Structure 1
Amino acid sequence: MKIFGIGPAAPAAVHPSAPIPVQGPGVGTGVRVALGEGGPSIFPLVLGGADFGWNVDVESAHGILDAYVELGGNALHTADSFAGGRSEHVIGSWVHTRGLRDDVVLAVRVGHHPDHPGLGPVNLVRAVEASLTRLRTDRIDVLYLDATADLPSLEHALATAAWLVETGKVRHLGAFGFRAEQLVEARILAAAGYPHFTILDVPYNVLRRSDFDGDLRLVAGAQGMVVTPSHALEHGFLAGAVRRRGPVRSVRGAQLAAGLTKRGSRTLRAMDTVGDELGVPTAAVAVAWLLSQRIVAAPIVNAYAPEHVAELAQGVGVRLTRSQLAEIARASE
């Protein structure tokens, strides 16, 4: 069974049947996009580590990471709360043993580690220091502040982030779980000299649009932010491996079963049709749909095996036509 976890400007226009070449000998090859204003240049598919150290052991995770960079990937995402920090340990050990720190972009979300929860100044600094230790590095390329954690004061959080940037521990700031009005407040503070968010992470996919489409999308677009959507495959449902209900024996099984609605089934059938037309897996169609959204930079995707990475990466190499997008839109209404 193939189950996946979980895109800036759309990729360069190409004919759907002529994929952009993304394979190469290693990091630094393939398609690249800018991750926000002044941000690093990355492959338009970020590999997430949500399951590393939890559902995926160290050896398997390293194999997945190897497969990703062989396809030209260079951006990794994790959080200090994933598997209690074990995800960071796994990624840190891989980066260290492969000697690739200067070749990859490390993105980390903080705010929910039990040892230093929330985004108060003291805990924010401690969280970053702990992540640096687990990742075996001296800097975090993109630090996502998680607004779903305790946020006593956005001004104090940004002032602390400014210090982290000034000391070189953090390069760029991203936002996760922020409401539209919080992004407006953050931009007002940025006008007063505080660092500004250039990247937004929001759960977003063809089936989960309501949380983003609306004020949040308008504000992010007006501020020139790019989006790195998490849950690009809706906990794996949009990979199409599960089509019928069965016994639910795990959290992952419950998440997959939640997609088995009439709307979800219609959407999968439409994506199957598009995938057949393009000669790519259904999971790749889900990635391509996200990359068709102009504000999206790179989806954050999780994989359980190297072959999953190869299937997902195919979504970078195709561009959906207007008729294909319309077909998917009708099915997902």
Structure 2
Amino acid sequence: MTRIGHSDLDVFPLNLGGNTFGWTSDQDTSFAVLDAFVVAGGDFIDTSDSYMASIPGNSGGESETVLGQWLAARGRRDDVVLATKVSRHPDFLGLAPDNIARAAEASLQRLQTDHIDLYYAHYDDPSVPLEETLGAFDSLVRDGKVRYLGISNYSPERISEWLSICEANNFAKPIALQPHYSLVVREPFESTLRPLAEKFDLGVMPYWALASGFLTGKYRTQADVDGAARSRIVDGYFTTEGLAVVDELAIIAVTRGMEIATVALAWTRQQSTVVAPIASARVHGQLDALIASVDLELSDAELHRLDTVSALVTTN
């Protein structure tokens, strides 16, 4: 287990992504994934109020709804650390104080719970004074509806401003940072965001830690990419340099008797400030490779090999 920042949240070092729930995983499949995750010792689940509003036929909140149904059916609320986000739901866009309050209430209803353990600002909203946004988040903490706060997709300058405002106003300080980070997208996290995580004691939960499936080795030819649910995203990684990373992962995976995804997540987990990489499983059978990464300790030589080949990747 790993502690998040200065909080008392001690979590499994793999954060199960809920973006597939209500999208590529129907309710029964989602329940099976969640059941298997907690049986394996997992207790940390990440979602957003906007998942998956972008899918035709969805309106947003589908993932939270499935999670809430699972929590109610299984009676597991006290057994999990639940993270969700605000600012991108079509009905609750932005970070104005009244919007944050209404969005939080909607998330609580969908999740069928009276509190959110970790509540992220999903994306910055420059149209609202940051002090007003943080005041609204602080009110949620003081009211007991949110235990801790997190930051996702903010610039280094805005993160520093966030902490300064908290200090000046005695607002609840964030404990977590959720950046885009993986073996094929190492910047800007390593040069500009990780130093802030170290300075402000922010536990890091990288999203797209498997690069939307690219770092599982499932996309080795253009034919593999064409027609995939995440083809638009994966296309950005499908380069000579990106494939070289997958090749190196495959060599280590064979030597270790592990899956490629297991090695990729282990590399991410072993990076400074990282608490728990976020990875999702569309079906129950994909979980084993993810869970195995928690106990895999790559050697210094293996880490160096992956550092070297991934440094050549220029995707962002």
TM-score tier by shorter-chain length is: over 0.9
Structure 1 segment 267-278 matched on structure 2, within 5 A: 267-278=245-256
Counterpart code for 1:298: A
Counterpart code for 2:233: Q
Aligned mates of 1:305, 1:329 — CA distance in 2:
30
- 1:120 and 1:150 in contact (8 A); partners too: no
Q: How far did residue 197 of structure 1 move?
A: 1.1
Q: How far did residue 151 of structure 1 move?
A: 4.9
Counterpart code for 2:97: P
Q: 1:302 aligns with which of 269, 280, 283?
A: 280
Post-superposition Cα deviations, 1:59-107, rounded to whole Å, max 9, x if no partner, equal 0000000110111000111100002101000000001110011111110
1:50 match: secondary structure: coil
4+ residue segments displaced more than 6 Å: none
Structure 1 position 59 matched with structure 2 position 28? yes
CA RMSD of aligned residues (A): 1.3
Aligned mates of 2:32, 2:285 — CA distance in 1:
10
Q: 2:5 aligns with which of 36, 53, 64?
A: 36
Give the corresponding residue for 2:73.
Answer: 97
Give the corresponding residue for 1:319.
Answer: 297
Q: 1:129 aligns with which of 105, 109, 114?
A: 105
Aligned mates of 2:9, 2:112 — CA distance in 1:
20
Post-superposition Cα deviations, 1:134-185, rounded to whole Å, max 9, x if no partner, equal 0000000000012345651111111111110011000000000111111111
Post-superposition Cα deviations, 1:170-213, rounded to whole Å, max 9, x if no partner, equal 00000001111111111111212111111000010011011211
Structure 1 segment 76-155 matched on structure 2, within 5 A: 76-83=45-52, 84-149=60-125, 151-155=127-131
Post-superposition Cα deviations, 1:264-322, rounded to whole Å, max 9, x if no partner, equal 11101111111122211000011100111120000111111112111111111111111
1:214 match: secondary structure: helix
Q: Using CA pairs below 8 Å that are at least 6 residues apart, which structure has the higher relative contact order?
A: 1
Give the corresponding residue for 1:217.
Answer: 194
Give the corresponding residue for 1:195.
Answer: 172
Structure 2: 5+ residue stretches without partners? 53-59
TM-score, reference length from structure 1: 0.88
Q: 1:72 aligns with which of 41, 56, 76?
A: 41
Between the two proteins, what is the percent identity of the paired residues?
A: 35
Counterpart code for 1:286: A
TM-score, reference length from structure 2: 0.93
Counterpart code for 2:49: D
Q: 2:137 aligns with which of 155, 161, 166?
A: 161
Return 120-129 or 301-310, whichever deviates more: 301-310
1:143 match: secondary structure: strand
Aligned mates of 2:259, 2:39 — CA distance in 1:
20
